[in-house]
Structure 1
């Protein structure tokens, strides 16, 4: 009984402290509150870039096309991108916003930029964190394609009392920790008040591709649905800019823990907002959301 009382007091004090820290962060960044557009349809599909998306696109293409579509990061590399004509696109990779005309080692970013400026001939909303404002990539997009509307979201990670963080989420003043771009995309779509959000291509199976070489370097083979598997190899995952040291196995699995915990946070927040999230990925390790067989029409 006494131990339970100590634990309860300790938890309250911990949440009080993290709540105060979160409010301080919000006070500093509050002028950058997220302003989201109204939803166009009651249902949306968030498409991750996992290998299983090929199967979902093959079998559920017509279903996905009937929903409001959300793509992420390098999805524009896929041949199917202009056929889907997504209404929404989320980029949260900080490397996009450090990229300049002189950058030579990120051909993937250069390719995405080229597609956005030269090939997107439909209205599309691009969601990026506020710190991206003024970056080379965003300047090129805003100047080069008036059909793409840029929405800046406030990526201030907040913790603390649940009632407080839910209020901050809803007001666009804070977000859950977005360890992956899918978490950011889901958080934004929950706040756009879709009735149902379907998630495809969220394999979250990176642990299957972890290797350790003879030098104790951590290697990962990152495969996306648009990749040719024979062209993808295990590569070191460096923890420093000088590429002298890779992440440890402990830090890698801690990162995975943050991913899966982030989905649990989103599940509870979605329930609070009355939004249903369905994990419809053909393959997925995410256990936070319900699974369901998808019909051929959103109206069925």
Structure 2
């Protein structure tokens, strides 16, 4: 009995402390003037860049085209980008917003920017964290392609009491911890209150691509649906910007824990909003979301 009381009190005090800290973070980091655009359809599809998306795009393309489409990070590298013409695009990788014309080691970012400038001839919302405002990427896009409308969101991580977090998420003052861009995109789309959100291409199978070499360096193969496996090498996952030491296995699995915990919070937030959040990925290690297989009879509103 005493142990139960102790755990309950400890949890309450932790939530109280996290709520107060989150309030301070909001006052310092968040803008109260940012708003998300209204949804364009009742159903949306969030497309992750996992290898399984190839299967989904072959099998479920007709269904996806009926929904409001959300792509992330380097999806523009795929020929499907011009076919789908997504209404929404989310970029959360901080490396995008320190990129400049002189940057030489991020050809992937340069390629995405090139596609945005040369090929996006339809209206598209580009969701980026508030701190991206004024970056080279955003200044270039705003100056050279009026079809792309920036939507800045508060990337303030909110923790604390459940009721407290959910109200602030809904108000757009912050989001839950987002180890991946998919989690960020789902938080944003939930706050836009679609009736149903389908998730595709969320393999989340990083542990299958982890290796340790003879020097105990942690290596990883970062596979995306638009990559050719033979072209993707195992590379060190460095823990510091000077690239002197890789992450430990313990650090890497802690990061994976945070990623999967993010999906549990998303499920709770979806239930709070009354939004159906469904995982339609053909391969996925996410156990927090209801799995579905689409049939020809499925139709988007």
Q: Into which bin does the TM-score normalised by the smaller protein fall?
A: over 0.9
Q: How does 1:79-228 map to 2 (within 5 A)?
A: 79-228=79-228
Residue-pair matches, total: 300
Q: How does 1:46-57 map to 2 (within 5 A)?
A: 46-57=46-57
Aligned to 2:280: 280
* TM-score scaled by length of structure 2: 0.98
Give 1:80 shift: 1.2
More deviation, 54-63/4-13? 4-13
Give the direction of change, closer, same or farther, for the CA distance of 1:120–1:33 in structure 2 (3 Å limit): same
Give 1:32 shift: 4.6
Determine helix, strand or coil for the equivalent of 2:46: strand
Superposition CA RMSD, Å: 1.0
Q: Does the aligned pair in 1 maintain the 2:198–2:279 contact within 8 Å? A: yes
Aligned to 1:70: 70
Q: Does the aligned pair in 1 maintain the 2:99–2:136 contact within 8 Å? A: yes
Distance in 1, matches of 2:34 and 2:216, equals: 43
Distance in 1, matches of 2:225 and 2:133, equals: 29
Determine helix, strand or coil for the equivalent of 1:92: coil
Aligned to 1:23: 23
Unpaired runs of at least 5, structure 1:
none
Determine helix, strand or coil for the equivalent of 2:150: strand
Give 1:29 shift: 2.6
Deviations 1:38-92 (A, max 9, x none): 1010000000000000000001111000000000000000011100100000000
Give the direction of change, closer, same or farther, for the CA distance of 1:32–1:91 in structure 2 (3 Å limit): farther
Q: Does the aligned pair in 2 maintain the 1:32–1:130 contact within 8 Å? A: no
Unpaired runs of at least 5, structure 2:
none
Give 1:33 shift: 4.8
